[in-house]
Copies of this chain bind each other. A is one copy, B any other.
Amino acid sequence: MGKKNKKDKASKAEKKAAKQAKKLEGKPVKTGKGETPAEVAAELVRMFNDGQWSEIEEKFWSPKITSVEGVGVAKAWKGRKAVDAKNKAWLDTHTIHSARAEGPFVGASGFAVRYSMEIEDKGNGQRTKMEEVGVYEVKDGKIVREEFMYRT
Interface on A for B, CB 8 Å cutoff? 23-30, 37-38, 41-42, 68-71, 73-79, 81-82, 85-86, 103-112, 114, 131-133, 135, 147-152
Contacts and interface: CB of A to CB of B under 8 A. Distances in A.
Contacts of A85: 24
A24 B135 CA distance: 22
B26 A69 contact: yes
A85 to B, nearest CB: 4
A110 B32 CA distance: 25
A113 to B, nearest CB: 9
A105 B149 contact: yes
A104 B149 CA distance: 9
B105 A42 contact: no
A28 B108 contact: no
Contacts of A132: 105
A152 B42 contact: yes
Contacts of A25: 77, 82
A17 to B, nearest CB: 14
20 contacts: A23-B81, A26-B73, A26-B86, A27-B77, A28-B74, A29-B68, A29-B76, A30-B74, A37-B71, A42-B152, A68-B107, A69-B108, A74-B108, A75-B108, A104-B149, A105-B151, A106-B150, A106-B152, A107-B135, A109-B147
